[in-house]
Structure 1
Amino acid sequence: MATVTGGIDTRRPGASVDSDRTGVAPLLHIEDLDVHFKTPRGIARVVDGANLTVNHSEIIGIAGESGSGKTTLVEAILQIIRFTNRTTNGRVLFSPDGVQQVDLMTLGPREMRRLRGKDIAYVPQGSMNSLNPVMRVADQIVDGMVDHGVSPRQARARVPDLLDRVGLEARAARLYPHELSGGMKQRVIIAIAIAMDPKLIVADEPTTALDVNVQ
């Protein structure tokens, strides 16, 4: 499993994305990615010619000031940019098995939904607002797994372990979001993200709401 927490590498644009010396294709390879928005003042080049490679079992961190395009890059990878006044170009090659590569930029909404939450997980910025306020924590964790083919019984049996992995007690499963602190909500979102053992986790400032010890 690899994690992208938000840096653009120095790989030259157009460089080969063939398998490395071990014969394994990179988990994620972004090539010449552009995300431009039309504005009243002209074209805003929020992401312009981005190149990034993430190998299997590798952690990559992207650093940049606020407004530099980190979140837009993440949303382009996952195909979840909400605004329609944009143009997007480039390739985002994903290879969960290290053999077959698929260009995420060519997939439709239904195909991307199959990947998101299963092979690719997302921890959004400000994820404390991502929980359903009328569902208990356990139900929200189970819901995501069931959507990807896990039986309700198997999914519910995994909840205590998932909560333990993010430092929450088992009793948190019975709580509603309004009964959780900001840091606890953040950890629930992370538990949901890792529930299907994804190959790639894309996390946008995932530790913002957590205290130093938990980070």
Structure 2
Amino acid sequence: MPLLEVKNARLYYQTTKGILRALDGVSFELGEGETLAIVGETGSGKSTLAKLITRVWERNVALVDGEVYLENEEILHMPEERFRKEIRWRKVAMVPQASMNALNPVITIGEQMVEPLVLQGVPKQEAVRLAADSLESVGLPRDILSRYPHQLSGGMKQRVVIAMAIMVRPKLLILDEPTSALDVMTQANIMNLLKELKNRLKLSYIFITHDLALASELADSVAVMYAGKIVEIGSADDVYTAPAHPYAQGLMSSMPTLRTDKALSYIPGEVPSLIDPPRGCRFHPRCPYFSKEPGLRGLCDAEEPPQAEISPWAHRRHLAACWLYGYKSSRS
């Protein structure tokens, strides 16, 4: 049984120009103690997926649909009061994008860490102990509790936010660009910390990033998102070494490697508008195969592609939503 199962999740927003389909029919599973890296261009829906799971979407939401199961319990449509008391931070926690800016500059670290616990009914003395223990678990001294954010380096602030997220030992930790704006050495230290916490606390991660090389450090599985959809998902080995979807192939071709000499390429065009996305496959206007496969005309630009099985014999299923495989398999 998977720890987390997302089924046909949708999250739309109302804008002045129309309905924006930020997340449009996303499904995946995450096992206990595993890491799923979610990669893709800016605007592909990665952070929106995190907001859906943690239920912290913006006020102009127009549609929330689908199912999200955590330990076989549906949480997307759970009453908000129960979700706040039983799920958020206790079972699912999140390190937000630009998390260093999430700390209040005029309140001590201790006050910021202790307050959420006290509001949940934890006695203050116990909450202080939990906060101090959590700081030590990420390699920071207990006296950090008395300091203000401006007294800490960028790496220390990042560790504080991670400590806040794991204070009550959640099952699932969602990391949204956790190392952005950090220098390379600090990034490496944070990644090593995340690996150590995963092994010691048996955490499951959803690791959201646009940095493919960074994702490979933690990922057991990789989901590639494009224009609000998952276009490919499979084990990290499969997706990195043998990407199937043309968009995933383009991403991997644009990533330099240290041990091989290869010509770098790029993906032409721009991410489409999610207010008026292309019909059929949303990647087809940028796809290099669209004009090369005559049988794909009338499919790629008209019908949404199915999730095709790329390697059914693999330990983790390797799926790609592309008519290049769906068309051929339907006629084999």
Calculate the TM-score normalised by the size of structure 2: 0.52
List runs of 5+ in structure 1 lacking aligned partners.
1-24, 96-100
Identity %: 38
1:155 aligns with 2:100: no
Partner of 2:84: 113
1:137 aligns with 2:109: yes
Q: 1:70 to 1:174 in 2, by over 3 A?
A: same
> C-alpha distance in 2, partners of 1:172/1:203?
22
> C-alpha distance in 1, partners of 2:118/2:61?
34
- Secondary structure of 1:30's counterpart equals strand
1:59-138 counterparts in 2 under 5 A?
Answer: 59-95=35-71, 101-114=72-85, 115-138=87-110
Q: 1:85 to 1:156 in 2, by over 3 A?
A: closer
- Secondary structure of 2:76's counterpart equals helix
1:209 to partner: Cα distance: 4.1
Partner of 1:38: 14
1:167 to partner: Cα distance: 2.4
> C-alpha distance in 1, partners of 2:78/2:70?
11
Q: 1:185 to 1:48 in 2, by over 3 A?
A: same
Select the structure with the greater relative contact order (CA < 8 A; seq sep ≥ 6): 1
> C-alpha distance in 2, partners of 1:26/1:32?
16
Aligned length: 186
Q: Which moved more, 1:117-126 or 1:156-165?
A: 156-165
Bigger Rg, which one: 2
Calculate the TM-score normalised by the size of structure 1: 0.78
Q: Which of 136, 148, 154 lines up with 1:164 in the alignment?
A: 136
Partner of 2:179: 207
Partner of 2:206: none
1:81 to partner: Cα distance: 0.5
1:191 to partner: Cα distance: 0.5
> C-alpha distance in 2, partners of 1:158/1:37?
38
Q: Which amino acid aligns with 1:125?
A: Q
Runs of 4+ in 1 over 4 A off after TM superposition: none
Q: 1:37 to 1:176 in 2, by over 3 A?
A: same
> C-alpha distance in 1, partners of 2:61/2:153?
36
> C-alpha distance in 2, partners of 1:207/1:90?
30
> C-alpha distance in 2, partners of 1:108/1:84?
19
Q: Which moved more, 1:191-200 or 1:114-123?
A: 114-123
1:208 to partner: Cα distance: 1.9
Q: Which amino acid aligns with 1:105?
A: L
Q: Report if aligned partners of 1:26, 1:56 keep a CA contact under 8 Å in 2.
A: yes
- Secondary structure of 1:106's counterpart equals coil
1:57 to partner: Cα distance: 1.3
Aligned-CA RMSD value: 1.8
Q: How big is each residue's C-alpha offset from its partner over 1:27-79, in whole Å with a ceiling of 9 and x where there is no partner?
A: 11100011122334443222111011111111111111111111111101111
- Secondary structure of 2:100's counterpart equals helix
List runs of 5+ in structure 2 lacking aligned partners.
191-332
Q: Report if aligned partners of 2:7, 2:68 keep a CA contact under 8 Å in 1.
A: yes
1:85 to partner: Cα distance: 4.1
Q: Report if aligned partners of 1:186, 1:209 keep a CA contact under 8 Å in 2.
A: no
Q: Report if aligned partners of 2:105, 2:150 keep a CA contact under 8 Å in 1.
A: yes
> C-alpha distance in 2, partners of 1:213/1:40?
42
- Secondary structure of 2:180's counterpart equals coil
